[in-house]
Amino acid sequence: MKLSTNNNKGSRILRSLYALTNKSLVILSLALVNIQAPVQAQVQEQEYTTPSWWFGVAGGANFTFYRGSVQELNSDLTVPTAFRKGFGIAPFVAPLIEFHKPNSMFGFMLQAGFDSRAGAFKQVLTPCNCPADLSTNLGYLSVEPSLRFSPFKSGFYFYAGPRVAFNIAKSFTYTQEINPEYPDQVADPEVNGKWGYINKTQLSMQIGAGYDMPLETGNKNRHDMFSPFVSFQPYFGQSPRSIETWNLTTLRFGAALKFGHGHKIAPPVVMTTRTPLVIAVADPVVKFSVNSPKNIVAERTVRETFPLRNYIFFSDKSTGIPSRYVLLRKDQVKDFKEDQVELYTPKDFTGRSKREMVIYYNILNILGDRMGKNPSTTIKLVGSSANGPQDGRMMAESVKDYLVTVFEIDAARITVEGRDKPKIPSEQPGGTKELDLLREGDQRVSIESSSPVLLMEFQAGPDAPLRPVEIRAIQQAPLDSYVTFHAEGAQDAFTYWSLEIMDEKGEIQRFGPFQQDQVSIPGKSILGTRQEGTFTVTMIGLTKSGKTIKNEAVTHMVLWNPTTDEEGMRFSIIYEFNDSKAIVIYEKYITDIIIPKIPKGGTVIIHGYTDIIGDESNNLKLSLSRANDVKQIFEKGLAKAGRSDVKFEVYGFGEDKNLSPFDNRLPEERFYNRTVIIDIIPGK
């Protein structure tokens, strides 16, 4: 009983110390703010500049709190009672580099050195009522790059950034004493060993505050700085092992000694003239260019392999199938054919690319038709709802009831499950932006199956997509035939910009105003009925200071003019939100199915897209990155087949609402915009 009381007391001490150290971070920050004013007042005339680069060393103590459970220490030793809490104070020492310009708010810091997380767990009692202790010498080589932020442009600063740690020490010591009620027992020997299942690498983060205090050296061009600091490193990513639940939370108190060198300041120039001083402000630099693609002399009949997303999206607080999905009557089932789905259109359907979305809105009918023709197939319907697993299960039951009632599928072939989030959710932990759109995409029923006849080629398992639908259509002027005007830097430099396009006769057409860096215009809008022409294009930008800037380029344009019949093929690769892993799933499909269909001398046009969620510039980079990943797989497969006759065109359109395949009004449209489209054009 006495031993249990001591343990409770120790637990209270640990909790008090944890609370105290958390408060210390706030108190130190406030104290550093209060002392900045008098230090700022001690500004003297300088003969040398303040350095921008600093080099030195940082040292301190890590106050590390253990949480979670540990029992299986390694494959040879499992102790009888799990350890759950602990604490340790251990050293940290690292060389450092800093960059921050004088009187600037932002800078960069890098520390890399020895980072100990040594400590001891709280004593526990084993089943024999024997006290047991566990301590560990846990150590890492840590690399900690950080962004430095000085809100008052003074010595006080905050910093934050990632921490990458590589394990270099993992020993432990375990002791089990005797039962105090039986003093004649012989204690077990102390066990010294090494942790098993250790994570060799950790990726976590830190946030902290510090204060730079100049030191007087007597050397005018050398600057020395003493900088006390405190940082907090939460348990995210700090699990030492790949099993059990042991995690670390660390408070670090320390100081850094930094050194830098300044440059001699030139003496001021005395102005004796009374001529007013005119300061010239440089015009913003905007790089302007025009890309006018060559004519594609064909009317493309496209045989499109359209992917089927295995999701049915539901409205919030509703468990009924939305009306935009096509729901048949029982007497219509015998006439339904998946290659003629355009005969069955949604009631309230609007938007671009109607044919493709009509296919998707018939997904339940396509699934029911395939299951009816293949009586051995089975599926699982997983409903996910933010309103709880029961709501998700009712959504799945709605889909099951439709298939059983209308298509007369045996109910035993369909199982259902309810969840609060999908297995692959759009909303990620810690996300704060555009949550309404992300959550709208997570309100859905997923179709899972292990029946190969229902699934895409080379796919298996519950996450495999459904087999795509093949359709034929006449393609209008393709995106790759548009004339693209690049005004790199215009979004930052201009309030808006416009175009004046003059032909050989001096006739001028005007387009705009625009605000983005890139604009695409169909060639027909410029050429009209002309087949081709040479044009002088003038970009006219209005700067934010009210000044007009002009840039000029000459380009030759050719009208996209169909004259002969040509059949192309189109394939699509679809992605989850902010993800590029889908390309791994499709690699064998591209290599074994698509590449053999590319005709000799053909052209592969690859278009990357995203939905509207996220930063526009990041989405543009993501779409181009996905498109280039697809190109690399094509090139690898063609090289393996000994072919070098195929040409490539790669485009990344990001979230451009004028060029995206679908609207972004509904979650299914946004999901289908997360895509790379592959057009295969025969050689001429």
Residue 211 token pair: 């204060």
Higher pLDDT, 521 or 155: 155
Does residue 501 sit in helix, strand or coil?
strand
Ranked by mean pLDDT, the top range of 39-43, 176-180, 273-277, 476-480 is 176-180
Mean pLDDT of the chain: 82
Query: Quick one: pLDDT at residue 616?
Result: 84
Residue 682 token pair: 């025969």
Query: Quick one: pLDDT at residue 562?
Result: 52
- The H or E element containing residue 231 is strand 222-233
pLDDT in tens, 92-106: 999 999 998 887 889
Residue with tokens 């697809």: 630
Sheet strands (E) in 462-621: 466-474, 483-488, 494-502, 508-514, 518-521, 532-543, 548-558, 565-574, 603-608
- The H or E element containing residue 414 is strand 414-419
Ranked by mean pLDDT, the top range of 8-22, 402-416, 543-557 is 402-416
pLDDT at residue 58 greater than cutoff 70:
yes
Instruction: Enumerate helices (H) and strands (E) in the chain, giving the number of each.
Output: 10, 31
Query: Quick one: pLDDT at residue 385?
Result: 93
Higher pLDDT, 412 or 653: 412
Pairing of strands 414-419, 379-384: parallel
pLDDT at residue 42 greater than cutoff 50:
no
Query: Quick one: pLDDT at residue 530?
Result: 79
Query: Quick one: pLDDT at residue 28?
Result: 46
pLDDT in tens, 275-291: 444 444 456 677 777 77
Rg of the chain taking only CA atoms, in angstroms? 34
Query: Quick one: pLDDT at residue 44?
Result: 41
Higher pLDDT, 595 or 278: 595
Ranked by mean pLDDT, the top range of 18-32, 39-53, 209-223 is 209-223
Mean per-residue pLDDT for 583-609? Answer: 88
pLDDT at residue 157 greater than cutoff 80:
yes
pLDDT at residue 33 greater than cutoff 50:
no
Query: Quick one: pLDDT at residue 654?
Result: 87
Q: How far is 433 from 385, CA to CA, in rounded Å? A: 20
Name the residue among 631, 635, 661, 637 with its Cα closest to residue 649: 631
Residue 69 token pair: 């459970």
Give the type of residue at 483: V
Query: Quick one: pLDDT at residue 339?
Result: 77
Cβ(526)–Cβ(501) under 8 Å? yes
pLDDT at residue 239 greater than cutoff 70:
yes
Query: Quick one: pLDDT at residue 279?
Result: 46
Query: Could you write out the DSSP letters of every residue in 568-599?
Result: EEEEEEE--TT--THHHHHHHHIIIIIGGGSP
pLDDT at residue 68 greater than cutoff 80:
yes
Q: How far is 499 from 521, CA to CA, in rounded Å? A: 11
Query: Quick one: pLDDT at residue 495?
Result: 81
The count of C-alpha atoms lying within 13 angstroms of the C-alpha of 442, restricted to the half-sphere facing its C-beta, is 22
Higher pLDDT, 445 or 12: 445
Q: How far is 569 from 567, CA to CA, in rounded Å? A: 7
DSSP designation for 335: G
Query: Quick one: pLDDT at residue 11?
Result: 43
Omega within 30 of 0 (cis) for the link into 267: no
**Least confident residue range of 11-15, 158-162, 221-225, 558-562:** 11-15
Query: Quick one: pLDDT at residue 47?
Result: 62
Residue with tokens 């029923």: 445
Mean per-residue pLDDT for 390-394? Answer: 95
pLDDT at residue 553 greater than cutoff 50:
yes
Query: Quick one: pLDDT at residue 579?
Result: 60
Residue 467 token pair: 């087999």
Q: Which residues of 99-128 are buried (b: 16+ CB within 10 A; e: fewer)?
A: ebeeeeeebebebebbbbbbbbbbbbeeee
- Assign 560 a pLDDT band (cuts: 50, 70, 90): low
Cβ(367)–Cβ(414) under 8 Å? no
pLDDT at residue 581 greater than cutoff 70:
no
Does residue 61 sit in helix, strand or coil?
strand
Query: Quick one: pLDDT at residue 6?
Result: 40
Mean per-residue pLDDT for 12-20? Answer: 44
Q: How far is 684 from 668, CA to CA, in rounded Å? A: 37
Query: Quick one: pLDDT at residue 18?
Result: 45
Name the residue among 368, 408, 415, 425 with its Cα closest to residue 393: 415
Query: Quick one: pLDDT at residue 352?
Result: 54
- Assign 168 a pLDDT band (cuts: 50, 70, 90): very high
Query: Quick one: pLDDT at residue 329?
Result: 92
**Least confident residue range of 47-51, 464-468, 506-510, 607-611:** 47-51
Cβ(179)–Cβ(196) under 8 Å? no
pLDDT in tens, 359-385: 888 999 999 999 999 999 999 999 999
Give the type of residue at 142: S
Domains and CATH numbers, the chain: 2-37+53-261 (no CATH), 310-464 (3.30.1330.60), 479-558 (2.60.40.1220), 567-681 (3.30.1330.60)
Query: Quick one: pLDDT at residue 107?
Result: 92
* Percentage of the chain exceeding pLDDT 70: 82
**Least confident residue range of 380-394, 563-577, 615-629:** 563-577
Give the type of residue at 133: D
Q: Which residues of 350-378 are buried (b: 16+ CB within 10 A; e: fewer)?
A: eeeeeebbbbbbbbbbbbbbbbbeeeebb
Residue 375 token pair: 């009586």
- The H or E element containing residue 8 is helix 2-41
**Least confident residue range of 21-35, 38-52, 239-253, 484-498:** 21-35
Query: Quick one: pLDDT at residue 3?
Result: 34
Q: Look up the pTM and report it.
A: 0.49
Q: How far is 129 from 180, CA to CA, in rounded Å? A: 8
pLDDT at residue 518 greater than cutoff 60:
yes
